[in-house]
Amino acid sequence: MTAPSEMFEHPRVRMKPKSDARAIRRGFPWVYANDIVTDRRTKALLPGALAVLEDEARAPLGLVAVNPASKIMCRMLDRDPAAVVDQAWFAVRLKRALELRERLFDTPFYRLVHAEADGLPGVVIDRFGETCVVQPNAAWAETHLDALAAALAGVTGVTCILKNAGGRTRALEGLDDVSGVLLGSAPDTPVHVPMNGATYMADLTGGQKTGLYFDQRDNHAFAARLAKGARVLDVFSHVGGFGLAALAGGAESALSVDGSGPALALSEAGAIASGVAGKFTTRQGDAFDVLAALGQEGARFDLVICDPPAFAPSKQALDAGLRAYERIARLAAPLVAEGGYLVLCSCSHAADLARFREASLRGIGRAGRSAQLLHTGFAGADHPQLPQLAESGYLKAVFFRL
């Protein structure tokens, strides 16, 4: 029998009549502001405060983190409304997450926590050996950061924990962009990350996101299977993602294109560490401009990969984002030699697989090419999806033979 709400120490927030409490009971982790009764007491709650969520009949649904300043007003933390969020609570979730990653990988380089899918809404943790980089992208996580860091150190045994405050959603939560060190000392040189037979250089304090994109690991590996003896073009290459993996797979050469000079410098260092520097070159510039220039130069490659940033980070940006994906495909397709391969990626959760694939095929068609769809890839298993939350399945990679 459910305990009456008066027994709970936390304040209570209630869903409006006709709001879909059934979705919450079935595992959807968010309640939007327009579904909550926003009375004076609710509006007075501090961002990150904990509260008991109730349905319209005042039956408790669980313990949530509240942020009255965010469109996602409540994030489900625990189905037990009497749960205590402390170091021990964090440790239970971190142990469960660690168990999965240690089963998947024999090296300590992976995404340890993938937000809602690992039971820690808005929290991303990437592990780089003895260092973990935490992105607390929700107000509640910022409020409980000390307990989270203590649990993380206790569960993993890492000697350094960094806070990365560069997440795009932090501004939506009313949070600052000040990064810092939570435990130990920040590495003063890039970390060597072994992955798919290559070595990547991850700048954990000055690089993009947490320093490296682990989510493409499986897609790198599939591309490497197509790369033996191939001339490879890797566009939006960051620190050498697809290009270095392709060279490890036996590619003849790889050209990495990115707008960031520091990222390209890290990719060059990775090529040296991987023993493939003689086959690896870089070109800095706007990706659209470089693709157009390569076309005018008559360049041809056996394998072309384009892994751009999120062109459609929200529903409002969807139409413009799909046009950008189409344009990338139109510019890249002519660079692919007859019978070669084109890999197009999207990390935009607002552009679902069907729409992204259609935009890619429109671009390929506008370039006068035809295609076979060989494979569709997603984020690796260290980026699990919460089935009820479409946003957790953001990454798509479509592999075509032209």
Q: Tens digits of per-residue pLDDT, 294-349?
A: 999 999 999 999 999 999 888 898 999 999 999 999 999 999 999 999 999 999 98
Q: Which residues contact 344 (CB under 8 A, 6 or more apart)?
A: 305, 306, 325, 328, 329, 332, 356, 360, 397, 398, 400
Name the CATH superfamily, with its identifier, for domain 87-183.
RNA methyltransferase domain (HRMD) like (3.30.750.80)
Location of each CATH 3.30.750.80 domain in the chain: 87-183
- Whether residue 235 contacts residue 260, with contact meaning beta carbons closer than 8 Å, is answered with no
Tell me, what's the pLDDT at 286?
Answer: 97
Location of each CATH 3.40.50.150 domain in the chain: 193-401
Q: What is the CATH number of domain 193-401?
A: 3.40.50.150
Give the pLDDT means over successive 10-residue stretches in the chain (402 positions).
Answer: 55 93 94 94 94 95 96 96 97 98 97 97 97 97 97 98 91 92 96 97 87 95 98 97 98 97 97 98 98 98 96 89 97 98 95 96 98 98 94 94 98
Q: Where are the alpha helices (DSSP H) in 37-86?
A: 40-43
Tell me, what's the pLDDT at 8?
Answer: 58
CA count, 13 A, side-chain hemisphere, 162: 24
Location of each CATH 2.30.130.10 domain in the chain: 5-78
CA count, 13 A, side-chain hemisphere, 331: 21
Q: What is the dihedral of CA 241, 246, 252, 257, to 10 degrees?
A: -20
Tell me, what's the pLDDT at 130?
Answer: 97
Region for 236 from its dihedrals, namely left if φ exceeds 0, alpha if ψ lies in -120 to 50, beta otherwise: left
Beta-bridge partners for 398:
344, 376
Number of H helices, E strands in the chain: 12, 19
Q: Which residues contact 254 (CB under 8 A, 6 or more apart)?
A: 232, 233, 234, 243, 244, 246, 247, 276, 279, 280, 281
Q: Is 132 a catalytic residue?
A: no
Tell me, what's the pLDDT at 212?
Answer: 92
CA distances from residue 17 to 37, 52, 114 in whole angstroms, order as listed = 9, 17, 32
Please name which of 88, 27, 77 lies closest in space to residue 49, comparing C-alpha atoms. Answer: 77
Tell me, what's the pLDDT at 313?
Answer: 83
Name the CATH topology of 5-78.
2.30.130
| Catalytic one of 132, 160, 306, 347 | 347
Q: What is the dihedral of CA 151, 152, 158, 160, to 10 degrees?
A: -100
